[in-house]
Amino acid sequence: MAVRGLRSRIDELSSALGSQEMPADQKQKLQDYESEAAGAQQRIYELQADLKRGAEKIGETEIRAAKKEREAKETYADRVRAEYARPDYDTMVAEFRPTKTQGSDIMGLFAMLSAVAYMSGGKGRYAGEAAMKNAGSMLEGWNKGREDLFKRELLEFDKNLKTVDQHNKASEAKLKKAIELFSVDRDAAMGLVAEIKAENVGTKAQQELNQGLMTQALNTFKEARAGSEKVRNNWNTIVENAWKEQQKDQRDFAMKMIEAGRAKELLLGNDDNLYVFRNDGSITDTHGNKPPEGVKFSQFKKTGDKGGGKGSATSQQFENITSADIGNAWFRINQWLSRAKSVDDIPSGSPFLRDRGTQSGIVDAFLNYAKTSSLPADMQATDAALLGIAFDIVAARAQGRSTGVTDAKIAQVVRQLPIEGDRPETKREKVALLFNQLDEVNKMLPGEKQKSGDDYMRSPVARQIWQKYSGEETSAPQVPQPGEVKGGYRFKGGNPADKNNWEKVSG
């Protein structure tokens, strides 16, 4: 605008002079004006060239930033594909027992993640949005009991949250440097600001930088970092609460078992001296054995059945208790085997359990664990599961007789369980033997009271192990024929699992 004004003054002067001879001093002044105008025009050209170079530099910075972001996404995608291809992601998470309360806690992470993603950009925003998707998939796995999906998404959730942190930390450091440079090298500072804006497109920080609010943008990056840290802390709290809830469930379950044992004692008393009158006039214990000499008749109870007492109330109670013990054993076996990484990787007991198998006090060790939910330093969760399995097997063998559960008998079963140091083939033999012990006791029950491992193997890896070593993998279940007698009951036909299709065989 100044150049146009100068040129206008020169033109006016020339018009006024017309064709008259210009005085020397005026002629010199005109030449000075023209020289000044040419110099000003040259400075404009130079300034325009500088602006063009600056714009090109900023454009190159934005292109490099966009390229980095694209490469980051491609690298991220490749890494995700590689991670998902790892075979250990197929391993099931042991004792995965989600609750609605914890599921709602996971939903609470969405709001915080949304805020963090809005404050972040580039890699940070991409990772923040990916973390939100991970949280959604985690919730889906939680609600559906899909422990494989939950575990996979949890790992990616943690990785994406770390990426958000790294991005915001880098942006914060870069902006601090730009603010420091502003007073000494404005061009370098503006170049850094342009790079930060290119890496945080569509974010609160970019909007603030566009308005020149660098201090506010710096605070935004700090808030984003604090937000992701809050998300992480909340997640840790969810996990901690889930663990506490699981521990409480284990304690409650163990205490119920203790109470069940006490109930047996109250129900049966000294059951070795519990005998019944039979309809044929004979006197036997519940297993058909005659009483020894000296037994007082006040200890006898009346029943209306003959033989093994299958129809007596006491015998029915014994069968129910035995059936429950077998069910408890299968339940624990599923928990134990769900820790396996593969069909051939049998979880083993520690040296503590191996030593307990040769010592007295094994029942006390189990009861102490049940009451306090604490284990000795060298006793692991697997030991507790195996010890509980041994307890249930011995209880099932006792068929309701509380005096049949002793340290010696439990220790005998413990010595037959997979222990650290066993050869792989030895472990496999022990697992097959364990299944067989339960099966043999189970066969002694009436058909409608029998408990099959097939009903309890909820974990895929546990089911595969059970099928492989119980013979269920290659042979189909044997359906009883109509009229076939099993455990004192005759099969009438139809569905063997329906108790109405079995009738008791009388004397």
The burial of 264, by beta-carbon neighbours within 10 Å (0-12 exposed, 13-18 middle, 19 or more buried), is given as buried
- Sign of the Cα torsion 163, 167, 168, 173 reads positive
| Cα–Cα dist 125/322, whole Å | 59
Name the 3-class secondary structure at 340.
Answer: coil
- Distance between alpha carbon 3 and the CA centroid of its chain, in Å? 73
First-to-final CA distance of the chain = 123
- Residue 275: strand pairing partners: 285, 300
Task: Look at the block and give the residue holding tokens 């009483």.
Answer: 291
Each of the 507 residues of the chain gets a pLDDT tens digit; together they read 455 555 565 556 555 545 455 566 666 766 666 676 666 667 766 766 776 676 666 666 666 666 666 565 555 455 544 544 444 433 333 344 445 445 555 555 555 655 555 555 555 566 666 776 777 777 677 666 676 777 777 778 777 777 777 777 888 888 888 888 877 887 888 888 888 888 777 777 778 888 888 888 888 888 877 777 777 777 767 666 665 665 565 555 555 555 555 444 444 444 444 444 444 545 555 455 555 554 443 333 433 333 334 444 556 767 777 787 888 888 888 888 888 878 888 888 876 666 665 555 665 665 555 455 555 544 556 777 787 788 788 878 877 565 666 777 777 788 788 888 888 888 888 888 888 888 888 888 887 788 888 778 878 888 888 888 876 544 444 556 777 777 677 778 776 666 677 787 775
Estimate the crossing angle of helix 214-268 against helix 381-398, to 10 degrees.
20
Q: In what order do the strands lie in the sheet with 275-277?
A: 283-285, 275-277, 300-302
Q: Which two tokens stand for residue 491?
A: 């099969």
pTM confidence score: 0.36
Q: DSSP of 394-410, one letter per residue?
A: HHHHHTT-GGG--HHHH
Total length of the chain: 507
Every domain of the chain and the residues it spans: 1-16+24-83, 86-246, 312-475, 480-507
Token pair for residue 450? 């029998």
> Could you give the CA distance from residue 283 to residue 154 in angstroms, rounded to a whole number?
64
Structure tokens at 111: 């709001």
Q: Residue 362: which of 404, 410, 398 has the closest Cα?
A: 410
Task: List CB contacts of 23: < 8 A, sequence separation 6 or more.
Answer: none
